[in-house]
Structure formats: structure tokens, C-alpha cells
Structure 1
Amino acid sequence: MADQVNSLEELGQVADSIETVDAPQITTIQREVVKDALGRSYATGKRKDAVARVWIKPGSGKVIVNGRDQTIYFARPVLRMILLQPFEVSGVAGQFDVMATVKGGGLSGQAGAVKHGISKALQLFDPSLRAALKAAGFITRDSRVVERKKYGKAKARKSFQFSKR
């Protein structure tokens, strides 16, 4: 091999003779604001078997879920806390009205679906909020679902009681 470098001095000479290539410029993606004719942003949120359709618009912080107030629909305080997390993380608590319709799953899954929908809609309404929502993990869909039941089993993994005799 004739192209071998035997000392640090030769390496320095080789490095000086090589032309430097400019690194490609990294461009930031400019996300655009997505609103309908009424000034609302829409997004779909999902969690377990629940699917939420969420509309947000500037307002006083009122949250309506399936035609009922959030305090009536989500009676447990923990579920309401989950629902309002995106507003607190992004620093816009009390500035948006939310109208959501939810189907499927239980109350916990529905609260998670509305939270996911609110996060996505906030990001569409104001793209500058995306960094805070993404850092908190609210834009990512939580893909955990119930494992299916297998044949020959009592549940997904539980076996029937074993009898030796």
C-alpha cells in the first residue's frame, strides 16, 4: 500500500492537502397554522380503544366532552387533570375552549384520547407550542392496548387450574 501514512507529520500534510467540503445547511421546518373557517383547529386523539375528535378555539377555558361539561363527564379529578395537562405544559391554561366527542374504551382511555387530541390540535393552532408538547410526550400516540385472549387460556396469558390427578 503506497497510500500509507507513517508519522503524524505526514498525516498533517495529508490533512492540509485535502479540500474542505462545506457541510450542508440544516433547514428548520416551518409548520403552518391549520384553522377552519370558524377559527378552530381539529385533531383526532387515540388511546387504547378510545377515539376522540377534538376542536379547540380561543376562549375562556371551557371544556365540553360529548355535549357535557368536563366536571360531569369526567367525574374523577385525576381524569380532569390528565385532560388539562397539555394546556399547563404549553403555558396556555384557560385560553382555549375545547369541544370533543369521544367513542370507545373506558373513561381512563377516553381521557387519554382527549389529551392526545388536545395536544395535536394545540400544535396545529400554534406551531411554536410543539416543542413543549413533544418534550412532554403528549404528541406521541400511546400504542399500548389490551392483549388478545388466546385459545386454551383463561385470559391472554392466565392458564386454567392444573390438576395432577
Structure 2
Amino acid sequence: MESPLLRTGFRRAIASTHASSQRQALACQRRWLATPTESSGREPVRAAQPIQFTRDDNQFARNKPAGGFSRRGPPRGDGPKSDILLSRIRILPASPSYFTATPRYTDDLLALSALLRKYQLLPQCPPGEAPRIAWKTWEQYKSEVDEPVKETRYNRLLEIIKRLNYIHPALMPEEVTTALERFKRILQPFLNKPKPIIVDNYGRARASGRRKSSTASVYVVEGTGEAVVNGKSLTEYFGRLHDRESAVWALKQTERLDRYNVWATTSGGGTTGQAESIMLATAKALMAHEPDLRPILKRAGTLTRNPKRVERKKAGKLKARKMPAWVKR
């Protein structure tokens, strides 16, 4: 029987024979694949010619076969040189913000910032005297660009727009005007001017006023100081002295209580709201008779509508904002 020691020796001898044969084959392969030199009698290895990304028509004519165009096709472009290979190898995006989440917004922000840096030294309008323009809301802009623009980021854009709008209109550059046109609303509410109140053939001036949920329509005509509200006299319709004074406050401030008659129809809301709506309408109609009274009426506060409304009671509260006593503890 063969001993284990003899069997192991035979295995090692066979393995060494295979390893030596592999090393000889690898050396032979390296010798055949080695880079030839000039001393070996072979042609030296030369580097490939550089790629020409542009070529003229003469070179294309030399490379064109007799029967037609080359495999690359006819040269593109109108000029003598065309970037054929370059246009195929790399396609540049139309915008540097192409790979951002909001490319159109980023382009608008960069363009407006560049305009602001360029024209920031131009004279500006005094505070509050810039042209009144209604800009697009956040929802309108977001739906227009179709991008997930946050409201805070759009507010940053609006700050630059309003700063550019403060440039004096006489020195406003054309490119700034063109850039701001994109952010204007289609309908401008500031361009809507109310119809002028005129005195008709019967000597009447009609005006309307509102306060909270109350509305009033008033006719003012020269007379003896009579006031009628919904077919009743002023004292019969308004029980409180404060409401009666509010209704004719415009006539009292201008000292015209005994020179004009007032016919008013009012509806909605309470007595206080109806009285103040009559006051606003009376002041408007009075200016149709005497436009010079506008400064007095404006100082008296009769030409400004009070937009305040009653805040309704909330669930779980005693009033609009008053909390129960047990919550305060």
C-alpha cells in the first residue's frame, strides 16, 4: 500500500509541473504582446491623430467617395465650419438651472437680480409714490411655471420686482419694463376708476355707501336741511343720537346742514352700520355739488370706508376671542 507521505509528494510534484508550464506560457505571451521597439525591426507604434471637431468643406470634399457622401453624411451648418462631432458628443442644456428642481424660477430670480445690480443706482420715486401695479399671486405664478415654488421663495422674487418698480418712470430702462411685464396680472384693479358723480337735470346727486354689511343709496339736493331715511324722518328712524349725528356728519362738518336735503334708502346690518353707510354716501354726493369741500371731508374721515367687520364667536369660546374662566386657570 502507498503511504500517505508518498501520495502527498506525488501531488506536489505534479502541481509544480503545471505551475512551471503556466509561467512559461505567460512569459511567451508577454514576449509576443510586448511593445516592439525600433531595434526589433518592426514599425514603431505611433499615437493616433487628434480628433478635429471642426472641418471645412474642402476637407469634406477630399474625404467624400466618388459615388456619394461619406458615412458621416454631409456637413451641417451654413458656415464653412460646423461642429459636427461636438454637437453629437455633448448636448448643452438650454439653461444653467436645468438640473435644479425649479429651473424657470431660478432663471427669473437670476435675471431680476442681474437687472437690480445693473440699475440700482438710478433715481427712485419717493416712498409711496411708485406706480401702483397688481402683481401675480403665488398661486398664479406657480401654475404658470408649473414648478413646486414655495411661497417664501416667491416673496423673495416679489421684493426684487417691487424694488425695480421704484425706479423713476422717466428713467425706467426698456429691459426692466419688459421684464416686469411678465409678472403683472392680466386685470389691473388699480386702473379701474369710479364713475364721476354728476348732478342731474333735477339738481340731484346720487351716491352709494357701505359699512360692514349695510348699504345705502343717497340723493342730495339743495334745500332746507330735511333728511329722510327709508320714508321716515331722521329722528324717527334712528333712536340713538350718535347714529343721527353719524348720518349727517358730512353736512355738519362742512356747515351745510341747512342748505341740502337728503333722501336715503338703506338696508342690511344694524343701525350703526346703516348710519355710517349714509354718511359715506352723503359725503360723495356733496362733493358733486361742491368739489372744493373734498379736503374738509377727507380730514373729517367721511370719504374713507371703514372695512372693519364684527368678529364672530368661535366654537369653545365665550365670545370672538374670550376664553372660558377654567381655561385661564
TM-score by length of 2: 0.38
- Deviation (angstroms), 1:108: 1.4
CA distance in 2 between partners of 1:155 and 1:93 (Å): 40
Aligned partner of 1:145: which letter?
R
1:68-88 CA-to-partner distances (Å, cap 9, x unmatched) read 111110122222222222112
Determine the structure 2 residue equivalent to 1:98: 262
CA distance in 1 between partners of 2:218 and 2:277 (Å): 9
Determine the structure 1 residue equivalent to 2:294: 130
Determine the structure 2 residue equivalent to 1:36: 200
Aligned length: 134
CA distance in 1 between partners of 2:221 and 2:197 (Å): 13
Determine the structure 1 residue equivalent to 2:27: none
Q: Does 1:55 align with 2:219?
A: yes
Determine the structure 2 residue equivalent to 1:67: 231
Greater per-residue strand proportion: 1
* Contact 1:33–1:125 (CA under 8 A) maintained in structure 2: no
Q: Does 1:157 align with 2:321?
A: yes
Q: Does 1:117 align with 2:281?
A: yes
Structure 2: give runs of 5+ residues left out of the alignment: 1-169, 171-195
Determine the structure 2 residue equivalent to 1:88: 252
Cα distance change, pair 70–157 in 1 and its aligned pair in 2 (3 A): same
C-alpha RMSD over aligned residues: 2.2
SS at match of 1:45: strand
- Deviation (angstroms), 1:34: 1.1
CA distance in 2 between partners of 1:160 and 1:71 (Å): 40
Identical-pair percentage: 38
Determine the structure 2 residue equivalent to 1:141: 305
- Deviation (angstroms), 1:53: 0.7
Aligned partner of 1:155: which letter?
K
* Contact 2:220–2:286 (CA under 8 A) maintained in structure 1: yes
1:106-152 CA-to-partner distances (Å, cap 9, x unmatched) read 11111111111111111122211111101111100011111134344
- Deviation (angstroms), 1:43: 1.0
TM-score by length of 1: 0.72
CA distance in 2 between partners of 1:71 and 1:162 (Å): 46
- Deviation (angstroms), 1:160: 4.4
CA distance in 2 between partners of 1:129 and 1:62 (Å): 20
For CA contacts below 8 A with separation 6 or more, give which structure has more relative contact order.
1
Aligned partner of 2:312: which letter?
R
CA distance in 1 between partners of 2:258 and 2:208 (Å): 21
